[in-house]
Amino acid sequence: MPSRRRFLQTLSAAALTLPVMPLSVMAGNTEQPYQGPVLRVALMGLGGYATLVARGLESCQRARLAGLISGTPEKIRSWSEKYGIAGKNCYNYENFDQIRDNKDIDAVYVITPNALHHEQVLRIAKAGKHVICEKPMALNAREGQEMIEACRRAKVKLLVGYRMHFEANTLEIVRMRQAGELGKIRFFQGLSGFRIGDPGQWRLSKQLAGGGALMDIGIYAINGSRYMVGEDPVWVAAQETKTDPQKFKAGVDETIQFQLGFPGGAVASCLSTYSMNNLDRFFLNGDKGFAELQPATGYGPIKGRTNKGELALPHVMHQARQMEEMAGIILENKKPLIPVDGEEGLKDLKIIDAIYQAVQSGKKVSLKL
């Protein structure tokens, strides 16, 4: 049974073989090289996903890898050699506050276990650097609010690693919905899951992950329901199923089904699991048409179809597109079609809190986002 780490490694390897269209071609910029401002990014946490972000940065025009933060000296050594990162731009988890004096670094991308995000983001903000934080942004809404306030006080931006907010097929469906081509939205289904392996990994630790499948993979269905429907939910109901209490201990969810209600009348039915494969599908249904993505949130290519036919927009490595667009947000105050700021992350945390509350109470929980 493959572990989550092996799952990431497999996806990373697969990503290396995918045809990736250069960002310059996607932007129509085939003449003169980019000469504008560049976001200099330090990666915090040099695991499997950071490897993909680093590769994405290699093809960016407006962002580049400029620093490394890790608790493993060997990773610092190998990464700095591979990417040509100077020793003065390398830190560990004890001394990274010193980045406040480093003019070579503009932002830090936090790619560490969920439980570490809160403290690390507070420290980065205090050091005066912009923050990109992997999702979920924190363990709960209280922590998320504190992170937003800390970045606001420090006058730095806080973004969340919602890579799907920049994916072409996803954005086409959002455009269709906004243009009224699907009619009044009635229903959304989000299926997010895989069979997790190694029982000793941090994602199965309540202390490090803050939960189980919902915090890791289920957040895609939570967030996807909101940008697909185009509204924030006003209530949630949820039910948990646990078949292996040895592997999925108290506070670590194996499978949760949850339902969301939206102010316009649409409903969502979603599933988050660590015990089933082949679950990566979004389906949106309206009075005039439908849209489907399958796979919906993997590393790509994303495949979709609507009542008008297949969606076949060009694949761009998600991490490259994300970092290119986030550089524009930080450096030029650009506004993405779907927000990726701390407030967006906070809304998902409020829904996660409510889902766990609904599981415990067995009752529908009202939401005010």
Active site residues: 135, 220
How far is CA 362 from each of CA 66, 160, 237, 273, rounded to the nearest angstrom? 48, 31, 8, 19
Q: Are 236 and 260 in contact (CB under 8 A)?
A: yes
Query: From CA 254, how far away is CA 275, in angstroms rounded?
Result: 7
CB atoms within 10 A of CB 247: 17
* Size (the chain), residues: 369
| Structure tokens belonging to residue 314 | 């060009």
Q: Are 117 and 110 in contact (CB under 8 A)?
A: yes
| Structure tokens belonging to residue 169 | 């097929």
Query: From CA 17, how far away is CA 13, in angstroms rounded?
Result: 7
Q: Are 136 and 352 in contact (CB under 8 A)?
A: yes
How far is CA 78 from each of CA 159, 170, 232, 328, rounded to the nearest angstrom? 28, 36, 44, 30
The identity of residue 262, as a single letter, is F
How far is CA 33 from each of CA 25, 59, 305, 311, 318, rounded to the nearest angstrom? 12, 13, 35, 31, 22
Pairing verdict, β 275-286 and 267-273? unpaired
What beta strand segments (E) does the chain contain? 39-44, 63-69, 90-91, 107-110, 130-133, 158-160, 185-195, 235-241, 255-261, 267-273, 275-286, 290-293, 304-306, 309-311, 365-366
